[in-house]
Amino acid sequence: MTHRLYGWYLGLLDPIVEAIENLIIPSDRAHRVLLGIRKGTLEQVPKRIGAGSMVGSAKLIGCTVVSAIENPITPSDLAHPVGLGTRIRVLEHLPRRSGLGFTNARPADVSLSPIYALLVIDVQNCFISGTLALSNSPARQNGAEVVPIINHLLETIVFDYIVYSYDWHPVNHISFVDNLRNRTRYIKGGYNASIQVYDTVTYTGPKYETEQVLWPAHCIQNTDDAKLHLDLIVNTDKNNIIHIRKGTDPDIDSYSAFADNIKVQKTVLDTELKKRNVTHVIVAGLALDFCVGATALDAMDLNYKTFVVEDASR
């Protein structure tokens, strides 16, 4: 089994607003938002990722570099899914984007032997069978499908480090639609009785001004809903495992495993990865157009060589 990996840069697309699938459909639209792309297929996939591994020597067939700004590519040019990860797309690791709050980001030291971390994002009961199950979303996807694929990665590839992230909210979290009435004085434009779940509001306080999607209550700390899926392999080796809990501040949401949505508070993830000299991050989990996407974009912004395992994400 091989897995489709791709590094990515969304340019003008906002991953919090527009689903990643917008990069692929509709089929008649050219993708001018991509700044650079490598496309091709992997001839072989290494069985080990680790310091000095073969991952950089995997041979790309028919690989070309395209500037989508000058030469727009259409979705038909991209490798679409065939079976379980039979093709690979790899985007260039592009220069750090401005405006995301990481002005003091220290580059990963790529002069060292590559050090690889797998980031397993939010594979929690909530997004599989709970209050925010992907099967109830417009995409009607089954979040449980990523579990055996991530397990296969964990069983067949030796990553230097493995990160498990958790949405981990207090009961009074700003993202919960049920808490809207307790925050009416902070709603920009005033409270409106027509505001409902999945709407977006702008809060002006109590700590920050932030735009917020209103979700059902989910991933409440220390509940079964917030636990990792029972079938997910969770490595217990404390020497190479990092657990990241995000969204713990009741007054700001956090999709990325690196920081909150307005980049005023950072988790310890970047510090822990830099302390371990990690150079490459490989991201998988739930959900691709929110927490996986936001984590991958921040990883690029923090100068990691970044890949997303698409068949291990929904």
Q: Which one is predicted more confidently, 113 or 30?
A: 113
The catalytic residue among 167, 274, 291, 298 is 291
Tell me which of 126, 167, 219, 246 is the catalytic residue.
246
Does 122 qualify as catalytic in the annotation? yes
Query: Is position 291 annotated as part of the catalytic site?
Result: yes
Is residue 254 located within the same domain as residue 114?
yes
Domain total in the chain: 2
Same domain, yes or no, for 207 and 162? no
> Are 205 and 250 part of one and the same domain?
no
Is 59 in the active site? no
Do 191 and 62 fall within a single domain?
A: no
- Residue 271: band (very low, low, confident or very high) from pLDDT cuts 50, 70, 90: very high
Q: Please tell me whether residues 197 and 236 are part of one structural domain.
A: no
- Give percent of the chain above pLDDT 90: 46
pLDDT, tens digit (0-9, with 9 covering 90-100), for 139-168: 788 999 999 989 988 888 888 999 999 999
199/278 same-domain check? no
7 in Cβ contact with 28 (< 8 Å): no
The domain containing residue 275 runs over which residues? Answer: 5-95+106-172+215-313
